[in-house]
Amino acid sequence: MSASGSAYADLLGLVAFGELLAFERMAGDARLAPDLRRRAALNEMAAAEIANYRRLADRLTALGVPPEDAMAPYVEPLQAYHDSTEPRDWAEVVTKAYVGDAITDDFVREIADALEEPDRALVLDVLHDSRYADFAGAEIRVAVADDPRVAGRLSMWARRLVGEALSQAGRVAAERAALTALIARDGRVDVPGLFGRLTTAHTARMTAAGLNN
Amino acid sequence: MSASGSAYADLLGLVAFGELLAFERMAGDARLAPDLRRRAALNEMAAAEIANYRRLADRLTALGVPPEDAMAPYVEPLQAYHDSTEPRDWAEVVTKAYVGDAITDDFVREIADALEEPDRALVLDVLHDSRYADFAGAEIRVAVADDPRVAGRLSMWARRLVGEALSQAGRVAAERAALTALIARDGRVDVPGLFGRLTTAHTARMTAAGLNN
C-alpha cells in the first residue's frame, strides 16, 4: 500500500478497535445493571459493536492489511481511556455508553469525509443504532428523576469522560501525523477545530439528557 | 400458565440466562488473549451467544413470561459457577470455553427432548457453532505443544470446571423439582444418569484435545 493507503487502513483500524473495545467494556459493565432486563439490554448494545467490528476487519483484510496490524497503534490509548473511566455504578455505566457512543459517532462522521466509497458508506453504516442512545438517555433521566442530586455527579462524570477521551485522541493525533493529515480539512490539520465540533455536539446532548456542562 | 407450562418456561429461562452469562464472561476473558486476532475471535464467540439469548427471550415473551422472571432462579447458581472458575490465563480461557460450551450443548440436547415444537427446534438451534469449538480446541493443542507440562494443568482445570458445573447443576435440580421432572426420562427423574451421560461425552472431548481425565 502507498503511504496514504496505510493512513487509510489506520483510520479503519482505529474505528475497528474502538468497536472491539467498546464491546468488551460494555459487556463487562453489564454486571452493574440493577435488573436482568437492563443487564440484557446493555449486553445487546455491546453485541451490536462486534458485528460492526467484523465488517471493518473483513474490509481491512480485503485491502490486504491484517486487522490486528491496523488496530495495534490504538490498543494503548484506547485501553488507557477505558481504564481511567471505570464506571462505579449503573448510572455511570449508561452515561458512559451515552456519551461515548455519541462522541464516537461524531468522530466517525468526521472520518467518513476522508474516505472513498465503499469505505465511506461502510463507516457511516457502523454508527450506533439510535434505539441504544434512546435507552441510555432514558436510563439517565430515570436516575436523575429518582434523585436530583445525581445530575451533578453524572455531569461531572460526563466531563471527565470527554476530558479523558480528548486527551487520548490528542495523543493519537500527535503520534500519527499521516492519519491526522487524512482527516484534515482544506489541507489544514485542524485538530482544535475537530475537538471544538465534537464538544459542541456533546454539550447539546448533555442538555437533552438533563445534565449540565 | 399451567404448572408444567411454568416448568417449561423455567427450562427456556435456564438456557437463556446461560447464554447471557456465557456472553458476559467470554467478553470479560478476552483481555487475556495473547494478541488482537485471538482477542477478536473470543469476542466474536461471545457475541454469538447474545443473538441466541435474544431468540429465547423473544420466545419467553411470546409465551407470556417476562424473560427476567424465567431467568431469575438461575442468577445465583450460574454466577457462582463463573465466580469459582475465573480463568487466570489464555489457556484456561479457551479450555473453559471448550469445556463449558460443549457441556452446555449436551445439556441443551437433553432439554430439547422435553420440549415441543417450535421450542425444540429453537433450543437445538442455539447449539454452538462448531467453528468456535474448533478454534478453542486448536488453541488448547497449541498451548500443550508449546509446553507439554501445560497438559497436566489444563486437565486439572477441566476437572474443576466440570466439578463446579455439576455441583451448581445439582443445586438447581434439587431446588426446582418441576424442572427436573420435565427432563426426566420414562417418568423417572434420573439426574445421576444425566450427569453420567454428560461426563462420558466430556471425557471423550478431553482426549480429543490432548488432555487427560
pLDDT in tens, A21-69: 989 988 989 999 999 999 999 998 888 888 889 999 999 999 999 999 9
Q: Which of B27, B57, B72 sits opposite A40 (nearest CB)?
A: B57
Q: Which of A180-189, B36-45, B164-173, B202-211 bottoms out in mean pLDDT, i.e. has the lowest?
A: A180-189
Phi-psi domain of B187 (left: phi exceeds 0; alpha: psi -120 through 50; beta: other)? left
Q: Residue A162 is placed in which grid cell?
A: 470527554
Q: Quick count: other Cβ atoms within 10 Å of Cβ A146?
A: 10
Closest by CA position to A124, among listed A110, A139, A145? A110
Of the candidates A135, A171, A180, the residue with the CA atom closest to the CA atom of residue A37 = A135
Chain A and chain B share a number of CB contacts under 8 A equal to: 75
Distance from CA of B18 to the nearest CA of A (A): 12
B-chain residues near A75 (CB < 8 A): 36
First to last CA, chain B: 44
Q: Is A63 helix (H, G, I), strand (E, B) or coil?
A: coil
For residues B12 and B4, the answer to whether their CB atoms sit within 8 Å is no
Tens-place pLDDT, residues B152-168: 999 999 988 988 888 88
- pLDDT per position as a tens digit, B89-139: 999 999 999 998 888 888 888 878 788 888 889 889 888 777 788 899 999
The pair phi, psi for residue B185, each rounded to 5°, is -110, 140
Average pLDDT, chain B: 85
Contacts of A209 (CB under 8 A, 6+ apart): A98, A137, A140, A141
**What domains can you pick out in chain A, each with its CATH number?**
3-208 (1.20.1260.10)
Nearest chain A Cα distance for residue B49, angstroms: 9
Distance between CA atoms of B31 and B38, rounded to whole angstroms?
10
A47 touches chain B (CB under 8 A): yes
